[in-house]
Every structure is written in structure tokens, then in C-alpha cells.
Amino acid sequence: MTLPALDLAFAVADPLPPELLSRADGLADPLAGGRSWERTLARWLQALSAELPEELRAPAYSLGLTLTDDATIAGLNAQWRQKSGPTDVLAFAALEEAPPLPPSADRDEAVDPEPLELGDVVISLETAARQAEETGLGLGQELLFLASHGLLHLLGWDHPDEAALAAMLERQERLLAGAGERA
């Protein structure tokens, strides 16, 4: 099965402590990290494709991933969720509803498909580092865990109760294990 094409807008906010950036297993490097994230996210999208509603199955996707600091994510958390303080990950889905499918004749044309815009995932590198220390994981592993959580939110997963959260966390673990990213 072919990996979906991915148009990834990856950013690392300034200023983040160099010590934190170096602990992120290359995932906070604006150049190499972007390529690594692109491959990982494309693998996850491929792994999830059979579970997605037809209208979210696409040959190409577009999304943003930003690593930032606690102050910035706290501002976003207050503005969009009316919650004070920093959080580990926020997901801003671009789709309220799934887009209509293009006419089938358009799908048969030999042109590059327009990527399906999923939205943006924002991760606090500072919060991720604290959580990695608390759980004994490396910072890179924690970032992968948070990115998988954000991606699932962009694809419509939610956790309004403990059962839904447990299901979502279990799906994250399978994504990470399937990609060889987390034991």
C-alpha cells in the first residue's frame, strides 16, 4: 500500500531552550525533524485509512505541526478552550464536517490530488519534557505520543469520557507500536 502524500507545515517556535531541542531525538530540528515527522505522520495516516470514513480517505493530506513553549500554548488554551495554563497538545481541526467527495471522473485523472486539509497540531515542548521525565520516557517518544493524539483529534476522535479516552489511548499505542516508534 502506498503512503499518502503529505504536505506538512512544520515549525519550531523561538526561543526554545537549546537543551530541550537537543533532547528531542532530532524531532525538534526544523529541517531533519520536518522530514522525520512527514514520514511518521504519513505512516500513521496509512495505518488509519481503513478506519476512516470514506470522505476522510484521501491520497494526499495537509496539516501543520508546531512545537512551542508553555507561554504560547497557555495563550492558545485560554483563547480556544477557556482553560488557564499550559497543556501538552492542542489540535485545531480544519473540518467541522467531512468534505464532499469529488466526482469520480476527477479521481481518475492523472493529476496530483488536492491535499485534504486536516488542521494544526500544537505541542508544548516544555510540557512534553516534564511529562517525559515523569513517565521515564525520552522526549522524542513523548513528542510522538502527543503528535499521535493530536492527529487522532484532527481525524475526529474525541474523549468525552473515560471509555473513549481509553480507546483513543489504545489506538495511539497501536499506531506507535506499528510504526516501531514506541515499545
* pLDDT value of position 128: 98
Total domain count, the chain? 1
List, for residues 86-126, the tens digit of each pLDDT value: 999 999 999 765 455 454 444 445 566 689 999 999 999 99
Q: Quick check: is 145 in a domain?
A: yes
Strand, helix or coil for residue 177: helix
Q: For the CA atoms of 13, 151, 6, 59, what is the dihedral angle to 10 degrees? A: -160
Handedness of CA 40, 41, 44, 46 (dihedral sign): negative
Integer-rounded Cα Rg, in Å, for the chain is 17
| H or E element in which residue 12 lies | strand 5-12
pLDDT of the chain, 183 residues: tens digit per residue? 689 999 999 999 988 999 999 999 999 987 788 889 999 999 999 999 999 999 899 999 999 999 999 999 999 999 999 999 999 999 999 976 545 545 444 444 556 668 999 999 999 999 999 999 999 989 999 999 999 999 999 999 999 999 999 999 999 999 999 864 433
- pTM reported for the whole predicted model: 0.88
Q: Quick check: is 183 in a domain?
A: no
Q: Quick check: is 14 in a domain?
A: yes
* pLDDT value of position 181: 45
| H or E element in which residue 163 lies | helix 162-178
State how far the Cα of 74 lies from the Cα of 112, in Å rounded to an integer: 38
| H or E element in which residue 65 lies | strand 60-68
Q: Which domain holds residue 29?
A: 5-178
State how far the Cα of 85 lies from the Cα of 82, in Å rounded to an integer: 10
Q: Quick check: is 166 in a domain?
A: yes
**CATH number assigned to the domain comprising residue 29:** 3.40.390.30
